[in-house]
Structure 1
Amino acid sequence: MRLLSLLGLLTIMLLSACSSQNSSQEFSTVTEQKWSEVEADAEDTTVRMFMWGGDEGINQYIDDWVTPNLKEKHNVTLERIPMDTGEILQKLQTEKQAGKQDGTIDIIWINGENFKNAKENKLLAGSFTSNLPNFNEFYQTDDPAFQTDFGTPVEGMEAPWGKVQFVFHYESEKIETPPASFEELKGWVQENPGKFTYPNADDFTGNAFLRHILYASADTPSDIYDSPLDEGSISETAEETWNYLNEMEPELWRSGEHYPNTLTELDRLYSQGEVWMTMGYNEARAESLINDGVFPETTRSFVMEPGSIGNTHFLSIPFNSTNPAGALTAINFMLSPEAQLAKLKPNYWGENTPISIDKLPKEMKEEFQSVDRGQSVLSQQKLEDSFLPESEAAYVDWMKEQWFDEVVQN
């Protein structure tokens, strides 16, 4: 019986390995086709895009602009399925372990540590960006921002969809001059007790806020973003970071006894006037919230010295997509100048674009340059001058663990 069980287990493992190999071969077969053949195979198919669904402006952009235009231009039906990225990867990991090659996900919105985990666990289909006509025609393909993702080599396994920069939003009727540095922020918090807080380290935005403090505590930010995580070499910088946060904590909202679990919770506190600042990636995200009456019309944004962390986010294809041709067609469409222009406009998403404006035709270039992103959005020059790259993904998990030990439990 034991021998039979062992043989059965070996058979399952071999079948799983063969299935995985067949899936890889099938994807490479698709990427070896002419682009016209890829688009032809995609016609009259459905593409299921799994993505974070916590922003209504983003959801509206997908549902009201991308979906109908993709259908009209390519006869491809896009289904948006909201799910946190960590849950998406867990689903893929479970399917991989079970040898399931007929997956339910065709496109993933991904970056950072999630991309690193997906790549290391072989949850992605493979390299494909060199096949995308729009990427090759309208993007600076050798841009370092497209070559690595939080320190992880991309190797063509994800396509740049957008880029964002971290900014702070404030109520300009209550704050005449926002802080210019993180040291000034601490002083402002102490002078205005209860009017500032930040999401906890498990939240993507809260974790980024903490990494800004780490950058500011270093001799130069490049000491962090240019270096792999080495706890020994950054021990002094880390100690300064925890001291800063602990000194500020008593004057935070609710005296630091509770940190918002999500950016949505912090935004609600801001919209209700309990705190006078909020924050987040995407320098233009406040515009849709102002237009919807969620944020006050007097909301403005600012960045502080030593700078503002920015990153690129991507679209990728999982290892067991059953419609790789449809996924490639949809991603190529979402990288098109038309789709990127609609995404840049504040009536939907208002997010900045990774497209190379210089590579666009004259009329399209003028359309991009004429977009009014809104009063709450900092100038492009200010954003570029303050830009700081992301550190490697390992800092994210390290920050989660250390913040709970050094600040919450302290």
Structure 2
Amino acid sequence: MLGLLVILLLAACNNPFKAKTANPDKPLEVPGSLSDASWDEIVADAQGKTVNIYMWGGSDAINRYIDDYMAPMVKQQYDVTLKRTPMNAPDFINKLQVEKQANKQEGVIDIIWINGENFLTAKQADILYGPFTNQLPNFNDYVDQNDPSILYDFGLATEGYEAPWGKVQFTFAYDSAKVANPPKTFEELLAWTKENPGRFTYPAVQDFTGSAFIRHVLYNETGGYEQYLKEDSTLGDTSKVWEYLNALKPNLWRNGTTYPENLAKLDQLFASGEVWITMGYNEARASNMITDGIFPETTRSFVMESGTIGNTHFLAIPFNAPQKAGALAVINALLSPEAQIAKYNPKQWGEGMAIDVNRLNDVDKQQIAAIDPGVATLPMDVLSKYRLPEISAKHVEQLNEEWLTNVAGR
């Protein structure tokens, strides 16, 4: 009996995932890689920890979803305290790069919200932990792992270093009390701005919405997106893009002498009536803004006849995340049917789900079917018809740099 007791005590001491109460915020010393742990061991290690998620904070609806819905959920399910820190992706990517260069092995960030050029930068700088998605039960059960928009992020293979969080499509919003017939082509948009000077603008390209807007112009002015999807593709001659944007420039808000620094600023201009059209990823944005009392009730949405860009956004774990097990638990919760359906509901957030609806049970499907997407949200069949793919992140970076020289710098 005594020998058995000694063996049991030794096994307990050698269990790297056994909960400790002396300092619950300090990660356990795990020999080897966390990737070798079972899910039960990961959950045990996450218990009692505080997980810090760094993410863009420009949407009240998204912030509420994290603070008021997800934080209580992960506290109940995993006894994890979720804390949100608002920060733009380029800023936290730069912070992690500095820490990598300084060989700082324990940082303060556990989860980051990224995609596109920020993922490209992070992968090139080797500042991400992974691969990890294969360890997430909800990823394995509910995500279509053959979906190209999940396998690739702006043309770059995700390889398990990102977990999909949601799918969005770029839409324009307008005040129907002031704009009877919104422009449906970029040619009509140019004509409309001449007839309504100062009533349109777009964010500077340092903001992801402004960057996306000029990619639409690229597609329109250079013959479509297909040429940019090839692995060895280049941007080529972009002069027509700058010709169009510079023709648009004098008709913009403040005569194009300045641009809103971010989407939040553009939305403020729209809400105050200074501009009559706004834009952004997330097809339910306009409905959410009406519900929140920010946009006028006469706000409606439209897409260009040439289409609008849709993409998937992701969650990743930094290389020096202090609570990697806790991060895995939180990301798994964010991929649960419960969390994804709540996120789809405009009363919470109102954006497309990252999980495959066909993998859900009948009760979940009925719950989705009963959700009202909102008065200003375009039908899913319309959005699907006009959905365009993203191009390589390397093209995005180059296009943004050229805009600074050829448009903002003129």
| Same-fold call, TM cutoff 0.5 | yes
- Secondary structure at the counterpart of residue 314 of structure 1: strand
Distance 2:31 2:290 in 1: 43
Distance 1:403 1:66 in 2: 38
- Secondary structure at the counterpart of residue 50 of structure 2: strand
Distance 1:278 1:142 in 2: 34
Alignment of 1:78-93 (within 5 A): 78-93=82-97
In structure 2, what residue type is equivalent to 1:166?
A: F
Q: How far off is 1:100 after superposition?
A: 1.6
- Give per-residue Cα distances to partners, 1:252-305, cap 9 Å, x unaligned: 222212211111111111111111100001111122221121100010110002
Alignment of 1:94-133 (within 5 A): 94-133=98-137
- Secondary structure at the counterpart of residue 403 of structure 2: helix
Q: How far off is 1:171 after superposition?
A: 0.3
- Secondary structure at the counterpart of residue 190 of structure 2: helix
CA contact (8 A) 1:67 1:77 kept: yes
Partner of 1:142: 146
Tell me: CA distance 1:344–1:268, structure 2 relative to 1, closer, same or farther (3 Å): same
- Secondary structure at the counterpart of residue 279 of structure 1: strand
Tell me: CA distance 1:133–1:322, structure 2 relative to 1, closer, same or farther (3 Å): same
Please say if 1:53 is aligned against 2:57.
yes
Tell me: CA distance 1:98–1:375, structure 2 relative to 1, closer, same or farther (3 Å): same
Q: How far off is 1:348 after superposition?
A: 2.2
Partner of 1:20: none
Alignment of 1:187-336 (within 5 A): 187-226=191-230, 228=232, 230-231=234-235, 234-235=236-237, 238-336=238-336
CA contact (8 A) 2:172 2:280 kept: yes
Partner of 2:165: 161
Distance 2:227 2:347 in 1: 39
Tell me: CA distance 1:127–1:27, structure 2 relative to 1, closer, same or farther (3 Å): farther
In structure 2, what residue type is equivalent to 1:244?
A: Y
Q: How far off is 1:27 after superposition?
A: 9.3
In structure 2, what residue type is equivalent to 1:307?
A: G
CA contact (8 A) 1:167 1:303 kept: yes
CA contact (8 A) 1:215 1:224 kept: no
CA contact (8 A) 2:270 2:295 kept: yes
CA contact (8 A) 1:221 1:306 kept: no
Tell me: CA distance 1:27–1:172, structure 2 relative to 1, closer, same or farther (3 Å): farther
CA contact (8 A) 1:217 1:241 kept: yes
Q: How far off is 1:363 after superposition?
A: 0.4
- Single out whichever of 336-345 and 93-102 deviates more from structure 2: 93-102
Q: How far off is 1:310 after superposition?
A: 0.9
Question: Which ranges of structure 2 fall in alignment gaps of 5 or more residues?
Answer: 1-26
Please say if 1:380 is aligned against 2:346.
no
Q: How far off is 1:185 after superposition?
A: 1.1
Partner of 1:9: none
Tell me: CA distance 1:249–1:54, structure 2 relative to 1, closer, same or farther (3 Å): same
Distance 1:243 1:364 in 2: 49
- Give per-residue Cα distances to partners, 1:357-389, cap 9 Å, x unaligned: 110011001111221110111110011111111
Alignment of 1:354-369 (within 5 A): 354-369=354-369
CA contact (8 A) 1:228 1:392 kept: no
Partner of 2:35: 31
- Single out whichever of 122-131 and 252-261 deviates more from structure 2: 252-261
Q: How far off is 1:227 after superposition?
A: 5.6
- Single out whichever of 274-283 and 46-55 deviates more from structure 2: 46-55
CA contact (8 A) 1:110 1:316 kept: yes
Distance 2:99 2:204 in 1: 31
Please say if 1:174 is aligned against 2:158.
no
Bigger fraction of residues in helix: 1
Compute the TM-score of the two structures, normalised by the length of structure 2: 0.90
Distance 1:185 1:102 in 2: 50
- Secondary structure at the counterpart of residue 33 of structure 2: helix
Q: How far off is 1:396 after superposition?
A: 2.1
CA contact (8 A) 1:103 1:322 kept: yes
Distance 2:391 2:57 in 1: 25
Q: How far off is 1:391 after superposition?
A: 0.7
Please say if 1:71 is aligned against 2:83.
no
Distance 1:129 1:279 in 2: 32
Partner of 2:341: 341
Distance 1:266 1:27 in 2: 50
Give the alignment's Cα RMSD to 1 decimal: 1.7
Tell me: CA distance 1:239–1:193, structure 2 relative to 1, closer, same or farther (3 Å): same
Q: How far off is 1:85 after superposition?
A: 1.4
- Give per-residue Cα distances to partners, 1:321-373, cap 9 Å, x unaligned: 12211111110000000000111111221111121111001100111122111
Distance 2:259 2:31 in 1: 44
Tell me: CA distance 1:27–1:394, structure 2 relative to 1, closer, same or farther (3 Å): farther
In structure 2, what residue type is equivalent to 1:110?
A: I
Partner of 1:16: none
- Secondary structure at the counterpart of residue 166 of structure 1: strand
In structure 2, what residue type is equivalent to 1:216?
A: N
Tell me: CA distance 1:28–1:166, structure 2 relative to 1, closer, same or farther (3 Å): farther
Partner of 1:6: none
- Single out whichever of 92-101 and 69-78 deviates more from structure 2: 92-101
Q: Taking every aligned residue pair, what percent have the same amino acid on both sides?
A: 49
